[in-house]
Structure 1
Amino acid sequence: MQETITKKDDRTVVLKTKPLAPNIILSILGGAWGGIVNKKVVMANEVNGDLGEAYLLDKSVGAGAGPYEIVEWKRNDHVLLRANQYFWAGVPAIKQIFIKDVPESTTQFLLVQKGDVDVAWRVTTEQAAQLRDSPQEGVKLIAVPSQSNEYIAMNAQWGPFKDERVVKAVKYAIDYDAIINSVLRGFAVLNQNFIPIGYFGYIEMNPYKKDVAKAKQLLKDAGYPDGFEVEILTNPTQIRMDEAVLVQSNFAEVGIKATVTTMPASEMYAKFRQQGHQIILAGWGIDYPDPDALAKPFANYRVKQLAWRTMWYDDHAADLAEKAGLELNEERRLELYKELQEYWIEKSPFVMLYQPLDFWVIRDNVLGFEDAAAGYSITFDFTKISKK
């Protein structure tokens, strides 16, 4: 580590890495894991060689370099944050943040409606839809694209899915709008590509919509005029089960007889990692805000993540993902991701269902929350929030 991270002067650190596109490095460092702490304060609170970890779990006064310090953290009750007077970008507008642990969504919703709190951090989809459809005085709904996506993955080496026409038939069998509007109550956006909306390299390209006749013709051309039987694997959250039932119904319309199997997420993903699925309905959270964090798992089987688990051993897709991750020229990098997305959406065994929306209910005197929330759950910038 001492050979790759060195101090040049009091305001400059030199980081040496293997060849990577600059934004990959910066986006990784910009995450919570890239925080800078005061070594003297942290080491003064070291216990049994823990490098100050226990101290930093409960407080960070004088130890951190971020906009806020943790003054107090009482587990299952509250966290108290105070503005860092020495923050490099200036003292934040909100001088103190009190985060209260309120487990029940209904209680959170009532508290923000009464004005007892400024933000209800986690309300239900039904509560959010209620406020969206019937606005209330004093509060408003904030929604931003999530740093995740929901997908269906077919095992490219299993039975009918060895034929690209069958894979494409599945893509045309699904009613994407019904999933978004019925299951998600509209709290998702159609994005059939692996790069999220707002990311470097994102291009809007949603070629698939429910077309029963087209799906049936593709199945007939592939030698499955009467369809086939298949298992849909998912975990037992209400949203996933509702999605699976809807997809099962869509499949039945084109002759595909699907059985839905639910199991705990730990078991489901273990089976997926062993390439033991036929179809899986799942989601992917983004590790760092760069298209490389999506291109590798979804297109490059060599990294042994999602593409490998689906047994999609496509060297052209893998090569494009690798080249884009190493490309230093931004314009050329954009071209590579454009080519990869166009190829992936046509050839891959993935069906990207939607990009979810994260949402909060806030008091209408809270300003800047939408900008602060952009990038959640990778980051949340409290410095952009103020009150009138």
Structure 2
Amino acid sequence: MALETTGNSNETAQHPFCISRRSVLAAGAAGIALSFMGGRAVAAGKDTLVVTSGADAVTLDPGASFDGQSPLLWRGVYESLLDYKGDTLEFAPSLAESYEVSDDKKIYTFKIRKNVKFTDGEILDAAAVKFNIERQIKIKLGIAFALGAVTSIETPDNDTVVLKLSEPSDGFLSAFAALVTIGMISPKAIRDNEKDDDGAQGWLRSNMVGTGPYMMRSYTQSQQAVMVRNPDYWRGWEGDHFERIIVKYVHEASSARLFIEQGETDVALFMPDDVVESLDGKPGVTVTNVPSFDLYYLMMNCKHGPTADPKVRRAIAHGFNYDAFIDGTLRGKAKRARGPIPSTFVGHADTPVIDFDPEKARQLLAEAGMPNGGFKLKYTYESGYFWKRPLGELFQSNMKDLGIEVEVQELSPAAWAGLLSNPETADHCFGVVWWPTLATPYDYLWSLFHSAAQGSAGYNWGYYSNPEVDKLLDAGMVEPDEAKRLELYARAQQLIVEDSPALFVYEKNYRMPASDKLKGFVFNGMRTATLDFYNLSSS
């Protein structure tokens, strides 16, 4: 059977659930080295799903990071209260059998599924759910930003959790269903391994105790993760399911391509775009082509150096050749972004497009007192996100034409995140791709552009700050009327484009190479670059 793929339709994308996010921790790990048989990597088969990833996981703790590559592993071991149904934004029950929302949208009641155990034998009940939500709020990382309105968490019985909010919160339920969510971790494991009141963050960087279909058997950061079936999984193992999951971190694109061409791996993630396109049509390989919510940016530092001047940022925005990147590097398999929200996403506003115009760029530099450029910028990217290097190289070339020198630097994901999330060392330009944690414009706009999302609190590592934008986003978050809420978000988008804290480069369909024997894959734009391991099998 051919690979099954579906994607979010524009009609589906009109549901406004939501909120925002990201904060990354550096992670250490312990485990075993790559598994080999006869000098060759372990091959894929009916019992084993083998995935290659060009981008390393940062941490195994689902509550402590907002990076894009760690959720691949989280999804095998951890579950939350809700999920998304298929390729839609409709909520589906998971660890919560059902939920109710009060008319004023300030009280959320979850009924917890019975007879669910963590892999250490502990029972999942209302107390465990409350413990995990409180931990998330306490450590102030990951999805914690979406829980700010919570005033109390009550457990009237073993199977019921009641959350009370101080005010309505746009997309509150999405915090319990998203890519970055409140994954349920054994409270006993946290208590037993907590140090200095850290919520066991140190231990959980390389250890996992969840309720999900798989258990982490071994893990060596940047090399390999091996997961095996959880024998007591609450959904059972009837039907076709993989016995084990192997995720291999392959940093050479040529090696990853060879593995999937020869059938040694089932899925390849985080590959260069040109390599993905070269696999399209290869025997035994299918490349997905489904709509996504991914938007690619080149962020600039708005606090320090020449790019603290909005005129300089706008000049740089006019000095970048967007079409050259899309038509050359991406071979035309993308379209120009039109502002900070994808055109396929709910709440996208029709904002002015800053086109490639070198003369306009020079004019703006002259108005900023820098007619010949004459300054240096640093562009830094992390290993594994292959599109970021050619983006930086074209940026370097285009800026040279304006008299601006750009240094291109590569770092490990953890070092990259540590550099940019520290306001003292974040004077860099960098590429970032965003897909929503919560299905609302607030997710993109808060995470990347709100003043409160700077540093470790979110992903505003360009340190952009506009009090009017902050007020619009804060008002939109609590506005119960959808039309009024979207008006607030639209005005925020207009101001962001005027301030040019980033280059809004492109948006593209989700292109994932996989074996044509893989069955059960359904793409959901809210869970990009991950796999629903439990529902996959091989023909």
TM-score, normalization: structure 2?
0.56
Give 1:257's match in structure 2, choosing from 373, 380, 403.
403
Displacement of 1:176 in angstroms is: 0.9
What is the distance in 2 between the residues matched to 1:160 and 1:74? 41
| Correspondence 1:127 to 2:278 | no
- State the match for 1:362 in structure 2: 514
Distance 1:129 1:241 in 2: 17
Deviations 1:224-245 (A, max 9, x none): 5943222221226575453333
Q: Does 1:98 align with 2:244?
A: yes
* Residue deviations 1:214-265 (CA, integer Å, cap 9, x gap): 4344455x26594322222122657545333322332344xx2111234565
**Deviation per residue, 1:159-181 (Å, 9 max, x gap):** 586364x4433222211122234
Give the one of 325, 330, 340 matched to 1:179.
325
Whole-Å separation in 2 of the counterparts to 1:223 and 1:122: 39
* 1:203–1:338 Cα contact (<8 Å) kept: yes
Residues 359 and 79 of structure 1: is their aligned pair in 2 closer, same or farther, counting only changes over 3 Å?
farther
Q: Residues 185 and 11 (structure 1 numbering): CA distance in 2 closer, same or farther, change over 3 Å?
A: farther
- 1:320 CA displacement: 0.8
Indicate conservation of the 8 Å contact 1:301/1:318, yes or no: yes
- Is the counterpart of residue 282 in structure 1 residue 427 in structure 2? no
C-alpha change, 1:97 and 1:190, in structure 2 (3 Å) is farther
Q: CA 1:6–1:213 in structure 2 vs 1: closer, same or farther (change >3 Å)?
A: same
Displacement after TM superposition at 1:362 (Å): 1.2
**What is the Cα-based RMSD across aligned positions, in Å?**
4.3
Given the superposition, is the C-alpha separation of residues 94 and 224 from structure 1 closer, same or farther in structure 2, using an over 3 Å criterion?
Answer: farther
Letter aligned with residue 173 of structure 1: G
1:247 alignment counterpart: 395
Mapped contact 2:339–2:353 kept (Cα < 8 A): no
Aligned residue in 2 for 1:230: 375
Structure 1 partner of 2:443: 293
Matched, 1:339 2:491: yes
* Pairing 1:211–2:357 present: yes
Figure out how many residues of one structure are paired with residues of the other and give that number.
Answer: 370
Bigger share in helix: 1
1:163 and 1:59 map into 2 onto residues whose CA distance is 45
> Could you tell me which residue of structure 2 aligns to residue 350 of structure 1?
502
Q: Distance in 2 between matches of 1:219 and 1:74?
A: 50
Secondary structure of residue in 1 paired with 2:377: strand
Contact 2:376 2:405 in 1 (8 A): yes
Equivalent-residue separation in structure 2 for 1:59 and 1:128 (angstroms): 32
Change (3 A) 1:345 1:200: same
Q: Which runs of 5+ in 1 are unaligned?
A: none
SS of 2:490's equivalent?
helix
1:292 aligned partner, one-letter code: Y
User: Displacement, 1:100?
Assistant: 2.3
Native 8 Å contact 1:146 1:375 kept in 2: no
> Residues 1-388 of structure 1: matches in 2 within 5 Å?
4-9=152-157, 11-23=159-171, 25-31=172-178, 33-36=181-184, 64=211, 66=212, 68-70=213-215, 72-73=217-218, 76=224, 78-81=226-229, 86-87=234-235, 94-104=240-250, 105-132=253-280, 135-142=281-288, 145=292, 149-155=296-302, 158=305, 162=309, 164=311, 166-185=312-331, 189-196=335-342, 198-203=344-349, 205=351, 207-219=353-365, 222=367, 226-235=371-380, 239-253=387-401, 256-263=402-409, 265=411, 266=415, 269=419, 273-274=423-424, 277=427, 280-283=429-432, 288-290=437-439, 291-305=441-455, 312-355=464-507, 359-371=511-523, 375-377=527-529, 380-382=531-533, 385=536
Contact kept, 8 Å, 2:268 with 2:513, in 1: the verdict is yes
